[in-house]
Structure 1
Amino acid sequence: MLNQTRAMKKTHKKLDNQIRQALTIACEEIKDSFDEFSWLTHLVDFNKLPQSLHVSCYFHDQHALLDSMQQQLDNIIRHIIAKHLSDIDVKSFDISKQISFHSDD
């Protein structure tokens, strides 16, 4: 049982690294495309992946966030994130519910 637990942790660590890499690439692509985008982060319970994965995206300030929503840039950002996650086989990810938008202020 102990070996199985260690293997599971190694699997989770590898998957966590893949998710972080994919989201880092997505973040850089988004920042290159949208000046007012600041950063993103994620939370995940590996025992309930992909349903537990949640990505939070941050804009420089409330004004930038509202402007982006009015221009529907959130949809473009959602698709960029989903594309990079699908590259590492994270599928069945509900971009409308599992990606949220916030401001740094």
Structure 2
Amino acid sequence: MRKTDKKYDKAIREALTEVCELTMEKVEGFEWLTHEVNYQRFPQSLTVRLMFKDRQTLASFEQSDDYQRALDDMQSRLAAAGVTLKNITRHVQLGTL
């Protein structure tokens, strides 16, 4: 990993940690989030996975205002960290345990 990749990785982890903590406070059934990235194809390769305890809570989240707020929050925090994504929804996946 190059030095710039390490800087981006640290910034991404910090931004997503903040999003995770806020989402845990606001959304019942949200468990955690994780990310994956290939820095040779960065930022297009960035994928963030939000995990929920079951399909019902995931479906409720997807149809709530909390979903869009989480996406907006994620995009703004990543942008502040220097990661610009044109369409955040292409980089987010929802899953269950």
TM-score (norm: length of structure 1): 0.82
**Within 2, Cα distance between the matches of 1:36 and 1:74?**
13
| Alignment partner, residue 71 of structure 1 | 64
Residue 46 (str. 1) matches residue 53 (str. 2): no
Q: Describe the SS at the equivalent of 1:18.
A: helix
Unaligned runs of 5+ in 2: none
**Within 2, Cα distance between the matches of 1:67 and 1:92?**
25
- Runs (4+) off by over 2 Å: 70-74
Count of aligned residue pairs for this structure pair: 97
- Structure number with larger C-alpha Rg: 1
Q: Describe the SS at the equivalent of 1:51.
A: coil
**Within 2, Cα distance between the matches of 1:66 and 1:83?**
24
**Within 1, Cα distance between the matches of 2:77 and 2:32?**
16
Residue 19 (str. 1) matches residue 12 (str. 2): yes
**Structure 1 residues 24 and 66, CA gap change in structure 2 (3 angstroms):** same
Identical residues among aligned pairs (%): 32
CA RMSD of aligned residues (A): 1.5
Residue 15 of structure 2 contacts residue 81 of structure 2 at CA under 8 Å; is this kept in 1? yes
TM-score (norm: length of structure 2): 0.88
Unaligned runs of 5+ in 1: 1-7
Residue 95 of structure 1, aligned match among 81, 88, 92: 88
Q: Describe the SS at the equivalent of 2:35.
A: strand
* Offset at residue 68 of structure 1 (A): 1.3
| Alignment partner, residue 75 of structure 2 | 82
| Alignment partner, residue 5 of structure 1 | none
